[in-house]
């Protein structure tokens, strides 16, 4: 296991995007009659798995007097509050029992704790987070937005997950994720690329719903992992998508061999975030220890970003003026424009207006 990195004091907050799915925690943590807690977009959540396998996520406050529901009990079916014993069905949030009521008191039929739609994909418990103050969540609203999933191209594949907490807000996390120019400086390693290998690049980008795509292209010749796929002697292609609110999909294919990853930057609070990478692949399927090797290098890669962002967070606390340059920071500009377009659409009720009018070719060196 890599050494844990000490936390830094977080910098300024970011505006958050709601009405979408976010990965709350790893679903293998949810088993038996245990309850797990986490923070998602600043909301305290309690999660668990019903004995029928279904995941649930509730706000970790009893609607009666606010004590965390996670202080209570879960029997595989219902959650009982520790304070006065109210019993909740945790997928719907409905209160089923109030022990202090006598036969003379009518039972309040429509009494709910705040339950969030929760689905399991790729080992994450994904939670749908509505606009704050929008009341009880209608499952139909959540169903309008597809639960994100890592694309896989064959049934037999291996997979891994990496995670790192970042002391910066989600905006800095996302633009760091989409930033093409930091590679040769932050990720210097013999197996990846050297600073001296910097060369000019030209990439075509096109708008896609809620995001943009770096069009399918032959990958950079100066990166070792791509060379690894060269052993198959097939042409290698890679496609990278960014999709609001926080997702980067990368697909690398060489004939019927493939590597796919979904990286998300999730707001834990308005000023901190967490990066999660889920990857799946069928390349080098039979090479022993390949998962451990990829996990080792992947972890090293994610730690390099994490350490850099901890240092950046120190700088951001001093509230410096910042700038974004063309073309290397154009993906960051698109992210901010897309986010604003989505906030405007939520505000006006009009359909979201995509800030890109058509395909664009960018040039930078990395
Ligand atoms: S605070 Fe939960 S039942 Fe009273
Ligand atoms: Fe990076």
* CATH number listed for the domain at residues 158-365: 3.90.380.10
What is the per-residue pLDDT for 199? Answer: 85
Indicate if the pLDDT at residue 2 is higher than 70: no
What is the 177 CA–ligand 2 centroid distance (Å)? 6
Tell me the pLDDT band of 135, cut-offs 50, 70 and 90. confident
- Say if ligand 1 is within 6 A of residue 83 CB: yes
Kindly list the protein residues that place their beta carbon closer than 5 angstroms to ligand 2, a single-atom ion. 305
User: Which residue, judged by its Cα, is nearest atom 4 of ligand 1?
Assistant: 84
- Which atom of ligand 1 is the closest one to the Cα of 66? 1
- Say if ligand 1 is within 6 A of residue 297 CB: no
What is the per-residue pLDDT for 59? Answer: 98
- Say if ligand 1 is within 6 A of residue 69 CB: no
Q: Identical fold at 20-143 and 158-365? A: no
Indicate if the pLDDT at residue 8 is higher than 70: no
- Which atom of ligand 1 is the closest one to the Cα of 82? 2
Query: Is there a contact between 354 and 188 (Cβ–Cβ < 8 Å)?
Result: no
Indicate if the pLDDT at residue 6 is higher than 80: no
- Say if ligand 1 is within 6 A of residue 65 CB: yes
Distances (CA, A) of 17 to 21, 42, 110, 141: 10, 12, 29, 15
Ligand nearest to the CA of 60: 1
Instruction: Provide mean pLDDT across the span 77-92.
Output: 98
Q: Residue 334 contacts by C-beta under 8 Å, 6 or more apart in sequence?
A: 205, 212, 242, 355, 356
If you average pLDDT over every residue of the chain, what do you get?
A: 90
Domains in the chain: boundaries = 20-143, 158-365
Indicate if the pLDDT at residue 291 is higher than 70: yes
What is the per-residue pLDDT for 1? Answer: 46
Q: Which of 243, 267, 239 is nearest to 354 (CA)?
A: 243
What is the per-residue pLDDT for 209? Answer: 96
Q: What is the pLDDT of residues 190-205, one digit of tens each?
A: 655 666 678 888 999 9
What is the per-residue pLDDT for 174? Answer: 96
- Which atom of ligand 1 is the closest one to the Cα of 98? 3
> Model pTM?
0.93
What is the 40 CA–ligand 1 centroid distance (Å)? 23
Q: Lowest mean pLDDT: which of 53-62, 120-129, 195-204, 334-343?
A: 195-204
* CATH number listed for the domain at residues 20-143: 2.102.10.10
């Amino acid at each position: 296991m890599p050494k844990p990195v000490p936390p830094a004091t977080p910098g300024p907050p970011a505006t958050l995007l709601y009405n979408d799915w976010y990965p709350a925690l790893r679903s293998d943590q949810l088993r038996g009659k245990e309850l797990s807690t986490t923070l998602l977009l600043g909301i305290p959540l309690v999660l668990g798995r019903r004995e029928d396998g279904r995941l649930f996520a509730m706000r970790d406050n009893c609607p009666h007097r606010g004590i965390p529901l996670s202080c209570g009990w879960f029997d595989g079916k219902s959650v009982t509050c520790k304070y006065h014993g109210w019993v909740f069905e945790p997928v719907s949030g409905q209160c089923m029992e109030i022990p202090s009521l006598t036969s003379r008191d009518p039972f309040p039929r429509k009494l709910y704790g705040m339950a969030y739609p929760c689905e399991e994909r790729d080992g994450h418990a994904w939670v749908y987070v509505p606009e704050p103050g929008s009341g009880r969540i209608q499952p139909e609203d959540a169903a309008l937005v597809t639960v994100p999933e890592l694309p896989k191209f064959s049934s037999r594949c291996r997979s891994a997950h990496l995670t790192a907490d970042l002391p910066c807000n989600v905006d800095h996390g996302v633009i760091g994720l989409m930033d093409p120019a930091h590679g040769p400086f932050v990720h210097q390693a013999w197996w990846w690329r050297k600073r001296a290998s910097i060369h000019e690049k030209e990439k075509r980008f096109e708008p896609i719903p809620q995001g943009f795509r770096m069009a399918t292209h032959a990958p950079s010749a100066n990166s070792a992992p791509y060379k690894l796929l060269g052993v198959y002697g097939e042409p290698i292609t890679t496609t990278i998508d960014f999709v609001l609110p926080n997702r980067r999909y990368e697909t690398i294919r060489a004939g019927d061999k493939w590597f796919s990853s979904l990286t998300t930057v999730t707001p834990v609070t308005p000023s901190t975030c967490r990066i999660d990478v889920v990857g799946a692949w069928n390349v080098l399927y039979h090479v022993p220890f390949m998962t451990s090797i990829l996990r080792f290098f992947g972890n090293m890669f994610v730690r390099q970003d994490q350490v850099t962002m901890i240092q950046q967070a120190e700088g951001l606390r001093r509230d410096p003026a910042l700038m974004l340059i063309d073309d290397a920071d154009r993906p960051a500009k698109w992210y901010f424009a897309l986010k604003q377009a989505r906030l405007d659409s939520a505000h006006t009720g009009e359909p979201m207006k995509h800030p890109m009018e058509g395909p664009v070719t960018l040039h930078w060196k990395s």
